[in-house]
Amino acid sequence: MKKENLIVGTLVLTFATTIVRIVGMIFRIYLANILGAQGMGIYQLILSVYFMMVTLATSGIRIAVSRLISEELSLRHYSNARKVLSQAVALSLVTGFASAFALYFFAEDIGTHFLNEQRTVMALMYLAPSLPLIAVSSCYKGYFFALGKVVRPSIIQVTEQLVRIAVIFSIMNQYLPKGIEYGCAAVSIGMTVEELFSLLLTWLFYIFDKKPFSGKIHQKPDNMMFKMLKIIVPLSGTSYLNSILRTVENAMIPARLLIYGVSSEMAMSLYGMVKGMVLPLLFFPSSFLTSLSSILIPSVAGDNAASNEKKVSSTLSRVLHFTAISGILVVTVFMWFPTEIAMAVYNDTQVGLMLKLISFVCPFMYLNMVISSMLNALGEQVTSFKINIVESVLKISIIYFLVPVYGFNAYLFALFLTTILNTLLYTARLLKVSCIVFDISNWIFKPVAAAFGAGAAARKLFEIFVLNSTNNIFSLFSSIIILCLLYLMGLIALKSIHLESFRELKLPCNK
């Protein structure tokens, strides 16, 4: 088996993810303009329930497939690797159809009584058929990630996004004039068609793939269902509870704001602004980390199965380092240019205020994303489950008791407190189960110093550019590019990073 550079593989997936996010962000701006902040609030309520049902449908199957196939191939148990995929598909069909029936037949009750928003019902019903499609395609995507074949998932990512947008654009003019409810339903139809296309394309890639275990089935395969369930059950428990609690949280925010004294329209607009506009923009730069998290599980799981502790620790340390410096860079960009970015994207200064404030929690959000993947790769699903329970219960408690008294500021407090607490608990557990040494100087102090200098210089240059140019968008873009370059130069000058150290990172097996 040929080993490929982990960073190269991640860059391939990042390129696709970045394209998807750019197109997705443009599309989200389009939705924000035609639906308004209130419509975006309704759309986010729909997504909160839908993501919970996706969790029920997929049940951590992709992670289980990715990790187990990587482990079995590293041990040359080819029959077991093939068995993992076949049994995962069978399991995903059961969970996918069960979730679809539940969403379709209970959409009325969910929308009317749980979300307290009748306009979500139609969209939820249109989303139900997509659940078994997502469940099955996630198995095959897990297979590709296990083998480090990231080009195929990358192509699927880009094309399915384009299909969704094309469908929504083609039908929106017929639906939206009937009301926001129908506009959201049009988006749901596009998402369902997207998943159908994704499954067909994924299946074609698998059919024509040169499989590493073809012709190498010499031993009788084990029943891999129990191994899968050992991974899936705690992961599913975490995901189920997380999704349920987050759905409760999302439904509770507008309701508790009403008690505080905010009007129904304003409550939905505030909710839509943060959930539908600010947070997606903050997560937009995390394409690399999202890709890295997807690839990290099979890569670390394979080395962990082979008892290569030195390789595991080296990989995790470098990834954590990169995550920390990336999060600090994002804070710097949004801290120095919040209003300009908000005006360029949404033409809304209020979004800029929220953007600057919430950006300070970005490094913790990014670390959460990556460390949770690390713990899953090391078999620490139960720990993740416990930590997520603590985080969700604490956040819901703050929203329930404090939002009616202190308003939206209480929600922001809950977001900061629980995200930071979650990150600290995750990090403490990772340090305990691995040989990583947290280098606070190179990972935190030096990047912060480099970021402050780069941000101040870039802001000064931006003001000069604006005085000498009529194109503020170009000035903003140029200033951000300069900020990133100055930040990188500062990291190298302070010896926080050594670029050659990332070349040793390897992907899992690839034919």
Reading the chain (511 residues) residue by residue, the pLDDT tens digits are: 344 445 565 566 667 777 777 787 788 888 888 888 778 888 888 998 998 899 889 877 877 888 788 778 777 777 788 888 888 999 999 999 999 999 999 999 999 888 888 999 999 999 999 999 999 998 998 888 788 777 788 888 889 988 999 999 999 999 999 998 999 999 999 999 999 999 999 999 988 886 666 555 556 666 677 778 777 777 676 677 777 777 788 788 888 888 998 887 788 778 778 887 888 888 877 766 666 655 555 566 566 666 667 777 777 887 888 888 888 998 999 999 999 999 888 888 888 988 999 999 988 988 888 888 788 777 787 787 788 888 888 999 999 999 999 998 999 999 999 999 999 999 999 888 888 888 899 999 999 999 999 999 999 999 888 777 777 888 899 999 999 999 999 999 998 987 665 554 444 444 4
* pLDDT score at 3: 42
Cα–Cα distances (Å) from 132 to 50, 292, 348, in that order, read 13, 26, 39
- 505, part of any domain: no
The amino acid at residue 329 is L
Query: What was the pLDDT predicted at 48?
Result: 85
Answering whether pTM is above 0.75, one says: no
For 30, 119, 241, 426, the CA distances from 384, given in Å and listed in that order, are: 36, 35, 12, 7
Q: Cβ–Cβ contacts within 10 Å for residue 349, how many?
A: 11
pLDDT score of 510 = 44
- Give, in order, the Cα–Cα distances in Å from 91 to each of 103, 135, 384, 460, 502: 19, 9, 23, 57, 38
Whether residue 131 is contained in a domain is answered as yes
> What are the φ and ψ backbone dihedral angles of 210, each rounded to 5 degrees?
-85, 100
DSSP state of 176: G
CA 394 to CA 179: how far, in whole Å?
37
Beta bridge partners of 510: 2
Q: How far is CA 424 from CA 107, 319, 359, 393, in A?
A: 38, 17, 18, 17
> Is residue 485 in a domain?
no
Q: What is the DSSP string of 241-300?
A: HHHHHHHHHHHHHHHHHHHHT--HHHHHHHHHHIIIIIHHHHHGGGHHHHHHHHHHHHHH
Does the residue 264 lie in any domain?
A: yes
How far apart are the C-alpha atoms of 52 and 458, rounded to whole Å? 41
Show the DSSP H helices in 59-179 as ranges: 61-74, 78-109, 121-127, 130-146, 151-175
- Are 458 and 480 in contact, with CB atoms under 8 Å apart? yes
484 with 443: CB under 8 angstroms? no
In a domain, 156, yes or no: yes
**Rounded Cα gap, residues 194 and 66, in angstroms:** 23
Buried b or exposed e, range 72-92, using 16+ CB within 10 angstroms: bbbeebbbbbbbbbebbbebb
Distance CA 79, CA 484 (A): 48
- Rounded to an integer, what distance in angstroms lies between the CA atom of residue 110 and that of residue 49? 8
Residue 40 and residue 283: Cα distance in Å, rounded?
A: 17
* pLDDT on residue 275: 80
- Comparing CA positions, the residue from 164, 50, 28, 42 lying closest to residue 100 is 50
Structure tokens at 197: 């296309």
> Which residue segment(s) compose the domain that 20 sits in?
6-438
Q: Which residue type occupies 471?
A: N
The torsion angles phi and psi of 49, rounded to 5 degrees, stand at: -70, -40
Does 109 fall in a domain? yes
Whether 480 is in a domain gets the answer no
Neighbours of 139 (CB within 10 A): 26
Closest CA to 158 of 10, 11, 18: 18
Q: Tell me if 64 sits within 8 A of 228, measured CB to CB.
A: yes
Residue 82 covered by a domain: yes
> What total of structural domains would you count in the chain?
1
Alpha-carbon distance 15 to 20, whole Å?
9
How high is the pLDDT of residue 421?
Answer: 94
The sign of the dihedral angle between the CA atoms of 180, 181, 187, 189 is negative
